[in-house]
Structure 1
Amino acid sequence: MLKRMFRSKRLGDMDEKALKYISSMEWDWWLFKSDIEVDKAHVVMLYQMGYLSREECSSILKAIETIEKDGFDSLPQAEDVHEAIEKKVIELLGEETGGKLHTARSRNDEVATCIRMSTREELVLVMSGLLSLRGTLLDRAEEYLDTIMPGFTHLQHAQPTTLGHHLMAHEESLSRDWDRLFDSVKRVNICPLGSGALSSTGFKLDRELTSKLLGFDSPIENTMDAVSSRDFVLEVVSVLLGLMLNLSRMAEEMILWSTQEFEFVELDDAYTSTSSIMPQKKNPDVAEVMRSRCCSVFGAMTSIAMILKALPLTYNRDLQEINPHLLKALQITRESVDICNAMFRTVKFNVEQLREHVEKGFLCATELADTLVRVEGISFRTAHAIVGMLARKGITKPALEELRDVAQEMGIEVSNITQKDIDDALNPRVAIERRNLGDTSPLKSARKRLKTHGFMLENLENKIKNAR
C-alpha cells in the first residue's frame, strides 16, 4: 500500500496497482515546466495578498527553484505532477511552511492552467515551424515560377499550370491553417487559476495578477467553466487535424510524383529508404509515414470528443485522459511540419519531365473552347461540344479544316477562327500567360502575408516571455 498526501488521513493508503492505474505521471513531464511557473505565480500572489510572510514566500520560491533545477525525474512517487511537486516542497520545508503552497487553490484550477500554458507553448512551436515551411514553399515557388507542368483534376491531366503556382497553392492553404492556429490561442490563453475546485475560494485573491504573471490575456470569469472546460483542447486538435490533412496531401504528391509513372521529383536520400531484399528500391517512407500520422491526429480528436461527451459539470477525472491525446496530436503535428519543410527544401524537381507531360492529355482543350467563344461569338456550351467531339475523335492538335469539319458535322458554322488562333490556343505557354499564372504579384502578396504572420508570432512569444 502507498501513502498519498491528499488522502492518507481521510481514506488511508491506496492500493499500489490502483495508484498506478490512475496516475498520470507517465505523461505529466509535459506539464512540469508549466506547473513550476504556476506555483511561482501563485506564491507571489499569496504574498501580495498577505497570506504569506516575506520569509515564507522566499523559502517556498527557493524550494520550487530547487525542484525546477533537479527536474521532473527527481520528483517523488505521486498520483500526478501537481501532487509530486507539493510533496517535494513539503519534504524540503516541512508542512508548516511548505503546506502553505496550496492555500486558496485546488488541483482542478491548477491542472487546467498548466494544460493551457503547455498547449500555448506547443502551439507557438507549431506555428513557428509552419512559418518556416511556408517560407520554403515560397522560395521553391519563386525558383520554378515559370516552369510549365500539367495541372490535375481527378488525377487526370486537366489544364497547364506552373510548378510555382502549384507550390503556392499549398502555401496558401497552410496560411489558413496558421490563421486558425493563431486564432485558437485566444481561447487557449485565458487563465483558470484562482477558480478553486469549482466555486472559487473564501480567500481574497488577485486573479488579474496571476493571469498577468503567467502571460494570459485575462482570467476566465466563470469558475465552474474554468475548471471543467476542455473545448479549447478539442478546437486545437481539430485545427491540427486540418493542418495534418494538408500535410498528408503534400506527402501523397511526393509519393506519387516520385514513382516511375510520374518521375516529377526525386526525394533526397535523407528522406527515403531502401528494401531489405530489392537493392534498386528508393522508397518514400518518410512521406508515407507522414501520410499515415494524419490518422493518429484524427484518432486523438475522436478520443477527446468521446471523453468530453456528456460529462456533467464540473471536474471529472475523465478529463485527465484527454492530456495524452492532446500531447500526441501536438507532437505529431510539430514533427510532421518540420520534416515536411526539410523534405520540400531538398526535393529535386524534374523540369523536363514536367514539360513533357504538358504535351499529353489535350491540356489546352479549355483554351481552344474559350477561343471559339471569343472569336466566333458562340456560347461556351456549343464550343465545349465542338472541342469535346475533337477529343472523342482523338484530334488533339486540329488543323483549321479539321475543326471546321467537326463543327459542320454538328450543324455549327465556324468561319472566323484562323490557324494561328488554334495554334495559340494549343500553346501551353500562351494559355498560362492569358491566365497570369506566371505573375509575380501573388508571390509578393504571399511573402507580405508571411512577414505579417511572423510579426504576430513574435509579439505573442514576447508577451509570454516577458510575463516570466
Structure 2
Amino acid sequence: MTEKPTWSQRFETALHPAIARFNASISFDIELIEYDITGSQAHAQMLAHTGIISPEEGEALVTGLEKVRQEYRQGQFKPGIDAEDVHFAVEKRLTEIVGDVGKKLHTARSRNDQVGTDTRLYLRDQIQQIRQYLREFQTVLLDIAEQNVETLIPGYTHLQRAQPLSLAHHLLAYFQMAQRDWERLGDVDKRVNISPLGCGALAGTTFPIDRHYTAALLHFDSVYANSLDGVSDRDFAIEFLCAASIIMVHLSRLSEEVILWASEEFRFVTLKDSCATGSSIMPQKKNPDVPELVRGKTGRVFGHLQAMLVIMKGLPLAYNKDLQEDKEGIFDSVNTVKACLEAMTILLREGLEFRTQRLAQAVTEDFANATDVADYLAARGVPFREAYNIVGKVVKTSIAAGKLLKDLTLEEWQQIHPSFETDIYVAISPRQVVAARNSYGGTGFEQVKQAIATAKTQIL
C-alpha cells in the first residue's frame, strides 16, 4: 500500500509508508490547530485586503476556517497520519468545506513561515498562562509568610546550621525567585511576539502582501526584518526553554527543602494525606511524592533545553526539517511547568503544615547565635576579627563541655571578656537574633513585614 503524494507533480511516486509515518508530525503538532486556524484567518483577510483574492473569497476562507475550528472542538474533525501535519490537515478540510477557493489560502505563504507563526501564537498564549500560575504560587507563599513572620526556622549554609531566620523571610526568598521568573517570561514574550508571517519559504514573496496588516490582526508587536531569519529563528524557543528551566530550578530547590523538612531527621513540616502517599510494603511511611516528582521532572525540562540547543547549533540558513523537533520539547515543557507549579501551589496551600513547636525548639539547640556574640563585643569596641576569634574559642570549649552558649553563666562570660553583661542572654536569644537583623532585605521582623507589604503590590 502506498501513501497518496501530498506534493506537486515533481514527484512520481508516493512516500514509503514507514517514511510517511517517520516524516509526519500530525500526532503532536495537532496541538497547534487552533493557532493555525487563527493565523490562516489573518492571512486570508490580508489576501483580500491587498486584492490578491476577492473580498468574497476572503470571507469564504475565514468562515470555512471557523467551521473547521468548531468541528475540531466538537470532536468531528480528527485528522490522521495521512494528513502529515496540522497545516495540510486544516487546508484539506477547508477545501472540502468551501471548494476550490480553499486552494487559494496558501497563496503568498509557505509552511515555513506558517509553522513559525503558529508556534509563536501558541507560546505567547502559554507564557501568559504560566505567568498566572506563577502569580498563584506567589500568592500562597505570601499567605503563609504573613502568618509566620515571627515563626523561627534554622537557616543553613552548606546544609549546616548558620543563623535563625523568620520562616516568612525564608519563604519570601522563593517569592522573589518566582517574581524574577514572572518578569523573565515577560521579557521572553517580547521576542516571541514578532511575526514571521509573510517571510515565505525563505526569501519573501512576489505578491503584494502586507505583513504589518497580518501582524496587527494577530496582535504581534512587530515583524521580522529579514525573511531568512524569520523562518529559521528559534531563539525565542531557546529563551523560553531557558526560562522554563529556571522556573524548574526554583521549584526543585523548594522541593528539596520540603523533602528534608518532612524527614524524621528535621521534622519541620507534617505532610497531609491529600498530598502524600504510602509505601506498598512499609505501612508507617508517608512519602513526599509531590516534591519528589517536581524534583524529578526538572530534568526533563533541562533535557528539552539541551535538545533545542543541539538542534540549532549546526543548522545552515534557512529552514531545515530538523526544526520539526522543536515542538514536542516546547509542548512538554509547557505542560510540565504548569503541572509542577499547580502541584506545588496545592502542596503549600493545603498539603503541609509547619510544626511550629519543633521549629521553636530547633533554633535553641545549636550555636547559630555565635555571630551575635561577636557582634556584641564589636559593638563594645572589640575589633570584629578579635571578637570572632574569641567566640570561636568559646564555641570550641562549650562543645567540649557539652554546653550551648545560653548555658554559660555570667561569670563564665566575664572570664571570656569583661565587656559581657547580663544583656548577653537577651542578645543571643533566637528571637532577638532574628529581630536584630533589621538591615534592608534582612530577616528582622520589621523588614519582613515591609517585604510582605511590598510583595503584595508586585502581584496586583
Provide the alpha-carbon RMSD of the alignment. Answer: 1.4
**C-alpha distance in structure 2 between counterparts of 1:282 and 1:352, whole Å:** 21
Q: Which residue of 2 aligns with 1:229?
A: 233
Q: 1:354-393 residue pairs with structure 2 within 5 A?
A: 354-375=359-380, 377-393=381-397
SS in 1 for 2:379: helix
Shift of 1:58: 2.2
**C-alpha distance in structure 2 between counterparts of 1:228 and 1:427, whole Å:** 62
Q: Which residue of 2 aligns with 1:12?
A: 13
- Give per-residue Cα distances to partners, 1:288-319, cap 9 Å, x unaligned: 01111101101111111111112100000001
SS in 2 for 1:28: helix
**C-alpha distance in structure 1 between counterparts of 2:377 and 2:457, whole Å:** 39
Task: Name the CA shift for 1:7/1:276 in 2 (closer, same or farther; >3 Å).
Answer: farther
Task: Name the CA shift for 1:8/1:69 in 2 (closer, same or farther; >3 Å).
Answer: farther
**C-alpha distance in structure 2 between counterparts of 1:11 and 1:222, whole Å:** 35
Task: Kindly report structure 1 stretches of 4+ aligned residues shifted beyond 6 Å.
Answer: none
Contact 1:158 1:361 in 2 (8 A): no
Alignment pair present for 1:266 and 2:270: yes
Contact 1:5 1:87 in 2 (8 A): no
**C-alpha distance in structure 2 between counterparts of 1:44 and 1:102, whole Å:** 12
- Give per-residue Cα distances to partners, 1:21-73, cap 9 Å, x unaligned: 01111111211111000010000000111122232122222221121111175
**C-alpha distance in structure 2 between counterparts of 1:371 and 1:116, whole Å:** 58
Alignment partner of 1:207 out of 211, 214, 220: 211
SS in 1 for 2:27: coil
Q: Which residue of 1 aligns with 2:445?
A: 438
- Give per-residue Cα distances to partners, 1:338-394, cap 9 Å, x unaligned: 11111111121110000000011111111111001011x122111111111111112
Alignment partner of 1:94 out of 99, 104, 108: 99
Q: Which residue of 2 aligns with 1:416?
A: 419
Contact 1:4 1:78 in 2 (8 A): no
Shift of 1:78: 1.4
Contact 2:52 2:208 in 1 (8 A): no
Shift of 1:4: 3.2
- Give per-residue Cα distances to partners, 1:180-229, cap 9 Å, x unaligned: 11111000000000110111100111111110111110111111100000
Contact 1:399 1:419 in 2 (8 A): no
**C-alpha distance in structure 1 between counterparts of 2:148 and 2:185, whole Å:** 29
Count of residues paired in the alignment: 441
SS in 2 for 1:151: strand
SS in 1 for 2:26: coil
Shift of 1:11: 4.3
Q: Which residue of 2 aligns with 1:196?
A: 200
- Unaligned runs of 5+ residues in structure 1 are 408-413, 452-468
Shift of 1:404: 4.0
Query: For residue 284 of structure 1, what is the amino acid of its counterpart?
Result: P
Query: For residue 16 of structure 1, what is the amino acid of its counterpart?
Result: P
Identity, % of aligned pairs? 38
Query: For residue 313 of structure 1, what is the amino acid of its counterpart?
Result: L
Q: 1:2-401 residue pairs with structure 2 within 5 A?
A: 2-7=3-8, 10-71=11-72, 73-75=77-79, 77-95=82-100, 97-346=101-350, 347-375=352-380, 377-393=381-397, 394=399, 395-397=403-405, 398-401=408-411
Query: For residue 235 of structure 1, what is the amino acid of its counterpart?
Result: E
Query: For residue 231 of structure 1, what is the amino acid of its counterpart?
Result: D
SS in 2 for 1:387: helix
Q: Which residue of 2 aligns with 1:457?
A: none
Query: For residue 185 of structure 2, what is the amino acid of its counterpart?
Result: L
**C-alpha distance in structure 1 between counterparts of 2:9 and 2:25, whole Å:** 19
Query: For residue 309 of structure 2, what is the amino acid of its counterpart?
Result: A
Shift of 1:13: 1.4
More displaced stretch, 78-87 vs 7-16? 7-16
Q: Which residue of 2 aligns with 1:460?
A: none
Query: For residue 396 of structure 1, what is the amino acid of its counterpart?
Result: L
